[in-house]
Amino acid sequence: MSAFDRELSQRKKQILKAVVEAHIAAGEPVGSKYLVQSNLLSCSSATIRNEMAELEEMGYLEQPHTSAGRVPSELGYRFYVDSLLQHYAMTNKEIDEINSLLKVKMSELDKILEVASKVASNITKYTGIAIKPKQSLVKVLKYEIVGIDSRQFAIVMILSTGAIKTKKVKLGFDIDEFSLPRLSTALNTYLTGLCADEITLTSVINLERAMGADPMLVNATIKAIYETMSELDGGELHYSGLNHLLQYPEYSDVNKFGEIINTFEEKNEILDLVSGGNDKDINVLIGSENSVNVMKDSAIVFKQIKKDGKTIGAIGVVGPRRMDYARVLATLNELSENIVDLIEDKRLLTENGGEASAGRD
């Protein structure tokens, strides 16, 4: 039993729950008269007023104006999510929309997560987010070199995350049949077990010595590997349904909404937040609990997607603090189960990257 449970009587819990859910639905301060008229509680208006006053003193409710009703505080929302939230029963239409994800034959994790974020946005009417978290410690465990033609080859990198990344390298000169096997041996000798920041000048010199007369080949290879690992380390963010936020008065300030748009486009703050998230079943960050400064009046909810015990992505939603948490949590849980099914169904294939090139002066 938490400290919150010891502080609040059963009646206070019922009143707090009623206030939170009424405010989520209407966005207006909630008064005792409304709670009595809506038959949500069986006690008198005077009793409700006294209990609401005590909940305000305890920090669970706030009164925006002297004559107005009350709204939940950040603490009130946190208690509601942790202790009062009831299971949301998804409709058949919502379940069908989520299950449609399984019918789409997608081979890349990025695309699966992006579609999932759109589904989450459509169902919850908030902004959906799909994330490949920052992974600053991604390392290559093994390299394989595959020749394409006399001036092209592919580097296949088996990563510490369990993923496989392929990068094409295009050269401005021909390579002989012995260079690629020698390159494969050198890479596995000097670069395995290193993350991007650990590829030093010494590593490059060792490769050049091993390759002998092919320094340009080494330069193009190092460039391709470093670019690929930097992309993986940097994380990716997709978002859907940003326009949904405009229906909430919390986002009516044009300047503040513009700052939120910039935060999505620049992505790093959100990526840092999710990449550093707790290893929980689902993360619910309300107001100041999240580190994104322009979202202090918002809530961010996300669920990590795991494969073989490792986090490979996350899906979530962003909306006002008065978010319909029950629906959001049910939606993200259902979506994540479908994503895991897609992965375990072996439809998730190797991702292929772009090209790195080098020419001879």
* Residues paired with 87 in a beta bridge: none
pLDDT at 1: 40
The CATH number of 140-234 is which of 3.30.390.10, 3.20.20.70, 3.40.47.10, 3.10.580.10? 3.30.390.10
Burial annotation 25-53 (CB, 10 A radius, 16+ → b, else e): eeeebbbbebbbeeebbeeeeeebbebbe
Residue type, 356: A
**Contact (CB, 8 A) for 127 and 246:** no
Q: Which fold has domain 92-134+235-344?
A: Beta-Lactamase (3.30.450)
pLDDT at 212: 80
pLDDT at 233: 65
pLDDT at 136: 61
**pLDDT tens-digit map of 211-228:** 886 778 888 999 898 888
Burial annotation 162-172 (CB, 10 A radius, 16+ → b, else e): ebebebbbbbe
Token pair listed for 134: 């920052």
Is 3-84 CATH 1.10.10.10? Answer: yes
From the number of C-beta atoms within 10 Å of its C-beta (0-12, 13-18, 19+), residue 1 rates as: exposed
**pLDDT tens-digit map of 84-105:** 999 999 999 999 988 887 676 6
Residue 97 to residues 54, 101, 325, 338: CA-CA distances in angstroms?
43, 7, 19, 11
Determine the Cα–Cα distance for residues 57 and 60; give it in Å rounded to an integer.
8
Taking only the tens of pLDDT, the chain with its 361 residues reads 444 445 799 999 999 999 999 999 999 999 988 888 877 778 888 999 999 999 999 999 999 877 678 999 999 999 999 999 999 999 999 999 888 876 766 667 778 888 999 999 999 999 999 988 766 667 889 999 999 998 899 999 998 877 788 999 998 888 887 889 999 999 999 999 887 778 888 888 888 888 886 778 888 999 898 888 877 666 789 999 999 999 999 999 999 899 999 999 988 889 888 877 666 779 999 999 988 988 989 999 999 888 777 778 899 999 999 999 999 999 999 999 888 887 776 544 434 444 454 544 4
pLDDT at 194: 84
Token pair listed for 99: 């299950």
**Distance of alpha carbon 52 from the chain centroid:** 36
pLDDT at 349: 44
Determine the Cα–Cα distance for residues 102 and 203; give it in Å rounded to an integer.
44
pLDDT at 257: 92
**Contact (CB, 8 A) for 16 and 87:** no
pLDDT at 274: 82
Give me the residue spans of the domains in the chain: 3-84, 92-134+235-344, 140-234
Average pLDDT value for the chain: 85
